[in-house]
Amino acid sequence: MLKSIWQFGDVLLKPIIDVAGLDISHWFDPKTHNIRQYIDPVTHCLLPYTPTGRFVHIAPSYPSSNFANDFGIPWWRDDKYKIGVLSKKVRLIRILNVLTLQDQIIEVCMEENMHEILNRYLRHNSHANSYTWKYDGRVLDMEKTLDGNGIVDDDMDFERLKMRDDTYLQSIILYYNDDLTED
């Protein structure tokens, strides 16, 4: 449905196009996953809350004979339009390679395990699998998250102390294993 509307350049796509690539979870009720609603001050009816303007699959505020409601599932309920999962929290970490003394600062999601972080780090070091990953002298469990490995997120402390949270970052230390891996 969105594709067919896109082909015709429907004006109801403008609010969606204007926020392309951004988080729009605030448009939806966290419990019902439907569009948030409000009481219209004129009609005293419960209506969809669309501060950026009415968009696709939202009925007009007042009765209208030119609104077709035979589209089936609204786009926000259709799984094919869900393109990602919103992380509960992201944080910065420093990964230090002690062989080359190079470090990279990477933003990671709290839900990511160490394997997922390693896979994203591969663009900086294609031999990252040939390293032992440690924190505070302990070998990290690659199946666990940062929290699961005891790497505490100090962001709240920095916020409370009114300090920049990128001044001190938790550092993961990489130690090279001479295992003769190839690209």
Q: Which residue has the higher pLDDT, 107 or 30?
A: 107
Confidence category of residue 4, pLDDT binned at 50, 70, 90: low
Q: Tell me, what amino acid is at 156?
A: M
C-alpha to C-alpha distance for 126 and 183, rounded to whole angstroms: 7
Mean pLDDT score, 3-16: 69
C-alpha to C-alpha distance for 157 and 126, rounded to whole angstroms: 34
Confidence category of residue 105, pLDDT binned at 50, 70, 90: very high
60: β partners: none
pLDDT value at position 121? Answer: 95
Q: Tokens for 60, please give them.
A: 């007009």
pLDDT value at position 162? Answer: 74
Q: Is the pLDDT of residue 44 over 60?
A: yes
Q: Which of 68-72, 146-150, 169-173 has the lowest mean pLDDT?
A: 68-72
Residues 77 and 95 occupy one common structural domain: no
pLDDT value at position 182? Answer: 62
Q: Give domain status of residue 10, yes or no.
A: yes
Q: Give domain status of residue 181, yes or no.
A: no
Residues 38 and 111 occupy one common structural domain: no
**Token pair 């390693």 is at which residue?**
118
Q: Is the pLDDT of residue 1 over 50?
A: no
Of 49, 81, 113, the one marking the end of a domain is 81
Residues 127 and 108 occupy one common structural domain: yes
pLDDT value at position 40? Answer: 84
Cα distances (angstroms) measured from residue 116 to each of 78, 144, 182: 27, 10, 20
What are the two backbone dihedrals, phi and then psi, of residue 137, each rounded to the nearest 5 degrees? Answer: 80, -5
C-alpha to C-alpha distance for 86 and 120, rounded to whole angstroms: 18
Q: Tell me, what amino acid is at 48?
A: P
Q: Give domain status of residue 182, yes or no.
A: no
Q: Is the pLDDT of residue 163 over 80?
A: no
Q: Give residue-wise pLDDT tens across range 129-149.
A: 999 999 999 999 999 999 999
Number of domains in the chain: 2
Residues 96 and 158 occupy one common structural domain: yes
C-alpha to C-alpha distance for 113 and 61, rounded to whole angstroms: 46
What are the two backbone dihedrals, phi and then psi, of residue 170, each rounded to the nearest 5 degrees? Answer: -65, 130
| Rg from Cα positions in the chain | 24
What's this model's pTM, rounded to 2 decimal places?
A: 0.60
Q: Is the pLDDT of residue 183 over 60?
A: no
Of 29, 53, 81, the one marking the end of a domain is 81
92 CB-near residues (< 8 Å, 6+ apart) = 105, 106, 107, 108, 165, 166, 169
Q: Give domain status of residue 139, yes or no.
A: yes
Q: Which residue has the higher pLDDT, 169 or 175?
A: 175
**Token pair 């209506």 is at which residue?**
47
Q: Is the pLDDT of residue 8 over 70?
A: no
pLDDT value at position 129? Answer: 92
